């Protein structure tokens, strides 16, 4: 990447944080970042061919929000980065310990050079982690690499004992036999129930994702990248989510997150709420449903550079699907 003197202090490996904003204000973020689409026809090969001598790393979500990768995409990016000496970084803040104990990299069988983890790793507490190849991680150890190769890593909550204890307990539970079998079985039950009921109601929608985390995209046609979700029927999505919450299902606006804490009673209640929600959509919001239109994923050429949740009649046992 381009060398900018303003970013460097007396020790050339230490970044002066106060100067970062000045440099970005002058040069703009595009001086440091190139964007590519997601998927096998993303154009990432052309991007690397044009700028490989300046690329320090490629950062990617191995599972993009609710979009699984195209077959062969992650493998192709892994080969491309390895062949060109570029560091591959997986953002596994969402997928780490959710898709598998080894995260999305284990689930899809593609190992990055560095990965970031968060959310599930802390069991609800503020905890994050960074992992990677031994030769890269050695730069955090001054005794191993010396002053010139040392990179300082500090954080307000680094080493927080409560979060660390919660994280260790969470990982111990996830290591138990059958933990991920249960996660996937629970999620698959809900995905199948959603898909079946939406089809029966004649509502055009796609249940996208994998059993541990997924959502509904209210549009017709395939969902190939996250940009496609921007073209869904947002009004219908809002009514669906609001009505689910009104029936005691605490789902975020973006995903169902499955937990080992969800039992058969939670699943049964959720499916009942889905039935009531879809019936509400069909009987009260038919005009919104008919407004669904096919979505298209706009491919960018980047190779170069209803109900109230406070309604007292709906107060009942609730199930949470938030992160």
Residue 165 sits in a domain whose CATH number is: 3.40.640.10
Alpha helices in 10-58 (DSSP H): 17-27, 44-51
| pLDDT tens-digit series, residues 163-174 | 999 999 999 999
Q: What's the average model confidence in pLDDT over 74-94?
A: 95
- Mean pLDDT score, 100-104: 96
Q: What is the model's pLDDT at position 27? A: 52
39, 162: one domain: yes
pLDDT of residue 79: 95
Choose one of 174, 201, 224: the last residue of a domain: 174
Residues 187 and 312 in one domain: yes
Is residue 19 in a domain? no
Give the CA dihedral 226, 228, 231, 236, nearest 10 degrees.
-70
Residue 204 in any domain: the answer is yes
Which of 29-33, 90-94, 214-218, 268-272 has the weakest average pLDDT? 29-33
pTM over 0.95: no
In whole angstroms, what is the distance from residue 191 CA to residue 104 CA? 19
Q: What's the confidence (pLDDT) of residue 109? A: 97
User: What is the tally of structural domains in the chain?
Assistant: 2
Looking at residue 220, its pLDDT comes to 79
Distance from C-alpha of 65 to C-alpha of 62, rounded to nearest angstrom: 9
Residue 26 lies in a domain: no
CB atoms closer than 10 angstroms to residue 290 = 13
Residue-number span of the structural domain to which 213 is assigned: 179-320
At residue 290 the predicted structure's pLDDT band, cuts being 50, 70 and 90, is: low
Residue 302 is predicted with a pLDDT of 26
Alpha-carbon distances, residue 280 vs 53, 244, 249 (angstroms): 56, 10, 15
How far, rounded to the nearest angstrom, does the alpha carbon of residue 81 sit from its chain's CA centroid?
Answer: 21
């Amino acid at each position: 990447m381009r060398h900018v003197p303003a970013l460097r202090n007396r020790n050339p490996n230490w970044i002066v944080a106060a100067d970062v904003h000045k440099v970005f204000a002058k040069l703009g973020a595009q001086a440091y970042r190139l964007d590519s689409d997601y998927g096998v026809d993303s154009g990432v090969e052309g991007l690397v061919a044009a700028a490989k001598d300046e690329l320090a790393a490629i950062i990617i979500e191995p599972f993009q929000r609710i979009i699984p990768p195209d077959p062969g995409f992650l493998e192709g990016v892994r080969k491309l980065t390895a062949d060109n000496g570029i560091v591959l970084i997986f953002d596994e803040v969402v997928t780490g310990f959710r898709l598998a104990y080894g995260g999305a990299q284990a689930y899809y069988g593609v190992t990055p050079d560095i990965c970031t983890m968060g959310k599930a790793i802390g069991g609800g507490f503020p905890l994050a982690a960074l992992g990677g190849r031994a030769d890269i991680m050695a730069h955090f150890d001054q005794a191993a690499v010396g002053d010139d190769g040392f990179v300082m890593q500090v954080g307000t909550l680094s080493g927080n004992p409560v979060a660390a204890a919660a994280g260790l307990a969470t990982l111990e539970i996830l290591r138990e036999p059958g933990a991920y079998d249960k996660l996937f079985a629970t999620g698959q039950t809900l995905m199948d129930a959603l898909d079946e009921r939406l089809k029966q109601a004649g509502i055009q929608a796609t249940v996208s994702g994998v059993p541990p985390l997924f959502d509904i995209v209210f549009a017709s046609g395939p969902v190939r990248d996250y940009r496609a979700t921007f073209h869904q029927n947002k009004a219908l999505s809002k009514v669906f989510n609001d009505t689910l919450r009104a029936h005691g299902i605490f789902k975020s606006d973006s995903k169902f997150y499955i937990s080992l804490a969800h039992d058969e009673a939670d699943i049964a209640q959720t499916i009942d709420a889905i039935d009531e929600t879809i019936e509400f959509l069909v009987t009260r919001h038919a005009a919104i449903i008919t407004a669904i239109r096919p979505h298209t994923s706009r491919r960018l050429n980047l190779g170069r550079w209803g109900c109230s949740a406070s309604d007292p009649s709906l107060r009942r046992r609730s199930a949470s699907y938030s992160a």
